[in-house]
Amino acid sequence: MAHTRPLHAHMIHSWDGAAWEVFVAEPDEARWPHIPFPVGDGVPTISARTAALRALGYAPLTADTAWEWMETFFEGDPEGTVSLIASVKVTPANAT
């Protein structure tokens, strides 16, 4: 069944905080393939994130689609650790 809503790609820290991970939230999939970037290399550039999306078979919805950043607190974390999340709408790479 084709999905009618745009898919979203996200970039978050890995559970252990060692890497940024770029992945596409695919409906009906239990595990999403991801591309890791070591945290020590800094925040991945837009070009690096776009290349990661291509490696996963996706591309930003349009060439000028911007990544949106938000922050959230880890639920139940007594120290109030903040998680940064970057998101962008994507389309299958062969559709662009």
Tens digit of pLDDT for each residue in 5-17?
779 999 998 888 8
Note whether residue 50 is domain-resident. Answer: yes
Alpha-carbon gap, residue 18 to 34, rounded angstroms: 14
Domain limits at 75? 20-28+37-95
Strand (E) or helix (H) holding 48? helix 46-55
Which is higher by pLDDT, 81 or 49? 49
Query: Does residue 72 register a pLDDT over 70?
Result: yes
**Could you tell me the two tokens for 12?**
């978050």
Q: What is the pLDDT of residue 14?
A: 86
Note whether residue 78 is domain-resident. Answer: yes
Mean pLDDT of the chain: 87
Query: Does residue 89 register a pLDDT over 70?
Result: yes
Instruction: Report long-range pairs for 12-20 (Cβ below 8 Å, ≥24 apart).
Output: 12/83, 12/84, 12/85, 12/86, 13/39, 13/83, 13/84, 20/44
Note whether residue 8 is domain-resident. Answer: no
Q: What is the pLDDT of residue 73?
A: 78
Q: What is the pLDDT of residue 1?
A: 44
Instruction: Give the chain's domain count.
Output: 1
Note whether residue 14 is domain-resident. Answer: no
